[in-house]
Amino acid sequence: MATGRKVEIELKYEVAVSGGADRYLVAPDLGPFTPLGHVRSTRVEDCYVDSADWALSRAGFAARLRRTARGTQIGLKRQATAEGRLQRREELEGPADSESAPADWPASPARSAILELCGDAPLVVLLTIRQLRRVRRLQSGETRAELSVDEVEVLGDERTLDRFEELEVELTTGPEEPLHSLGEVLDRDDGLRHASRSKLDRAVGAVRAALPTMPDDLQKRWSEAPPELLVRRPPRSQTERAGRAGPPDETKDGSSEPAPEAAPGALPTSPQLERVPAGTRLNGPRALGVLPDDSLPEAARKVLRYHFARMRTKEAGSRSGSDVEDLHDMRVAMRRMRAAWRVFDGAFKPGHTRKLRRRLETLSDHLGAVRDLDVLIEGLEAYRAGLDADDRPGLDPLLVLWRRQRASARDLLIHELDSARYARFGAEMEEFLEAGVNEAATVATPTLPHRVKDRVPSQIWSAYEAVRAYEMVLPWADVETLHDLRIAAKWLRYTLEFFGETLGPDSTRLMGRVMALQDFLGCLHDADVAAKLARDVLVARAGELTHLETETIGAYLHSREREVARRRRALGPVWRAVVGAPFRRALGRATAAL
């Protein structure tokens, strides 16, 4: 394994939409570069470490233990400096062993630096970054480089805090001038943004956002972190300073200060992820007020009232159409209400709820029809933005069709919202919620299991069993079966969410892993739907489309099929995080808390 000191020179871009940079891996040429060999995929796990007193961070180093199939390596990197498009940083490397102290590692410049700065102090893990790296070697004259598209997952407190994609082109050998030429090509892609911060900087931002939900010992550790680590200003190239980045923000007294970065969300890569409403703990249970001693009807009333209130607050925005997220949030609230009827099935007299459930289902279908087309259109527009200007009109038939279908679906939605049926539904729902436990199916007695802590553990395990049952068929499951698994994961998530406040500290971590599985499968389902609809257009309008339209829609179809195949291949780690023994043990602790 190579050891020593080097200077890393690279182009770095954030990928705006998942899969938006895949075409660079298979392009026949890239600016002045010609690809060499095939695309190689590798999984990498980086554990960022420091001493308890943050000696490495205070010295300006980021220390990374990288685990791959070939072994473990320690890397010490200084903060990058930017010259034009290129970022440079000094890196020290050497072999390491995550199970032993640095003093016992083989000699290397990285080991020497760690011993000089930290002495005999043990290293502690700060956070973990996992990556699926797909790499293509490039050549231009004497210059060799590696282009990689990285799917990145940030882990902290044993849960996923952030997901994103990056494109990097790292100089391997030779002059760096061809990288500048390639940078000019990549700069023209609207789906790429210059990465103005490192993966570690973004990961630290995710940790900072999640700190209020972390255990006290982790909060204390991060509260002692060097300020320069928590608010590190990212390097900016001359291009960014002059153009994209714009002028620095000004404080009230006129001084220039870096604007605080928006903290990344918990699971950000899917367009279906809901925004976190006020009163929600990040990746954790909502403040629904459910208590272990509540009866099931009382717990159900609390859940329903919370989401009914959310639904009503988003109604005006859904009518006006000024913000598509209002419609999305209204749909999410209705989904939670529908889920509550199922999770709390049998808690109420069925004759008193049947009409409400039917009306909720109808309205939810209308919202879903509009939202599903929003997702399709957003994905298509992002893909279109990554094409050459001459090729973009080729997608117009799809875009026009889906926009027309969305307009029709929205007309039906507004008609429903304006109907007397919807007005009656709102009044009847309020009346039902006011009646509360008087609508319970049976009268509670001391010997009849009726409280949350009596009934919910078995409900949670039953929902988990429905997910784990897919274990035997998963290796050869078709897309329809994976969609069924997604639905099973959704019901497990809702069950955990509704009772999360009663389940103890493990509930946050459990919910995050189930959400990751559900959202991963959701993106797979979205890609499959888009592929099928594109194929329908190619078949139904074969005689009408121009050559450009046929070729461009066909390429979009193939890109969605590749996305489905890629996600099927990458499902393993997300699945194992839910069915593995650590999850089951944590689920046991959570239900035991009741």
Confidence of residue 483 (pLDDT cuts 50, 70, 90): very high
The topology under which CATH files domain 445-594 is: CHAD domain (1.40.20)
Percent of the chain with pLDDT over 70: 85
Confidence of residue 387 (pLDDT cuts 50, 70, 90): confident
- As beta bridge partners, residue 194 has 13
- The CATH architecture annotation of domain 296-443 reads Alpha solenoid (1.40)
Angle between helices 547-569 and 506-540 (to 10 degrees): 150
Range ranked top by mean pLDDT from 3-17, 276-290, 491-505? 491-505
Main-chain dihedrals φ then ψ at residue 401, nearest 5 degrees: -60, -50
Cα–Cα distance list, 489 to 510, 527, 577, 587 (Å): 12, 19, 13, 14
Residue with tokens 């949670």: 460
Q: What is the pLDDT of residue 145?
A: 94
Other residues' Cβ atoms within 10 Å of the Cβ of residue 567 = 21
For residue range 227-266, what is the model confidence (pLDDT) as tens digits? 766 654 444 433 333 333 333 333 333 333 333 333 332 2
Question: Quick one: which of 368, 371, 376 has its CA closest to 395?
Answer: 376
- Return the SS3 of 255: coil
Confidence of residue 441 (pLDDT cuts 50, 70, 90): low
- Return the SS3 of 344: coil
Residue 551 reports pLDDT greater than 50:
yes
Other residues' Cβ atoms within 10 Å of the Cβ of residue 473 = 13
For residue range 294-343, what is the model confidence (pLDDT) as tens digits? 888 888 888 888 899 989 988 888 888 877 888 988 998 999 998 888 88
Vertex 205, ends 62 and 167: CA angle to 5°? Answer: 70
Higher-scoring residue by pLDDT: 539, 446: 539
Instruction: Examine domains 296-443 and 445-594 and report if their fold is the same.
Output: yes
Confidence of residue 81 (pLDDT cuts 50, 70, 90): low
Task: Read off the tokens for 521.
Answer: 């499968």
Residue 217 reports pLDDT greater than 50:
yes
Higher-scoring residue by pLDDT: 218, 351: 218
Main-chain dihedrals φ then ψ at residue 2, nearest 5 degrees: -65, 145
Higher-scoring residue by pLDDT: 511, 529: 529
Q: What is the pLDDT of residue 471?
A: 92
Q: What is the pLDDT of residue 231?
A: 54
For the chain, what are the domain ranges? 4-233, 296-443, 445-594
Cβ-contact 583, 281 below 8 angstroms: no
User: Cβ-count burial of 350 within 10 angstroms (0-12 exposed, 13-18 middle, 19+ buried)?
Assistant: exposed
Cβ-contact 126, 163 below 8 angstroms: no
Q: Identify the sign of the CA torsion 432, 434, 438, 441.
A: positive
| Cα distance between residue 527 and residue 566, in whole Å | 11
Task: Read off the tokens for 115.
Answer: 């011993």
Q: What is the pLDDT of residue 238?
A: 37
Residue 80 reports pLDDT greater than 80:
no
Superfamily name with CATH number, domain 4-233:
Hypothetical Protein Pfu-838710-001 (2.40.320.10)
Confidence of residue 344 (pLDDT cuts 50, 70, 90): confident
Question: Quick one: which of 316, 310, 335, 311 has its CA closest to 418?
Answer: 316
Q: What is the pLDDT of residue 470?
A: 95
| Cα distance between residue 225 and residue 302, in whole Å | 40
Q: What is the pLDDT of residue 533?
A: 94
Confidence of residue 284 (pLDDT cuts 50, 70, 90): very low
Indicate the helix (H) or strand (E) that contains 251: none
For residue range 117-166, what is the model confidence (pLDDT) as tens digits? 888 888 888 999 988 888 999 999 999 999 999 999 998 887 888 889 99
- As beta bridge partners, residue 30 has 33
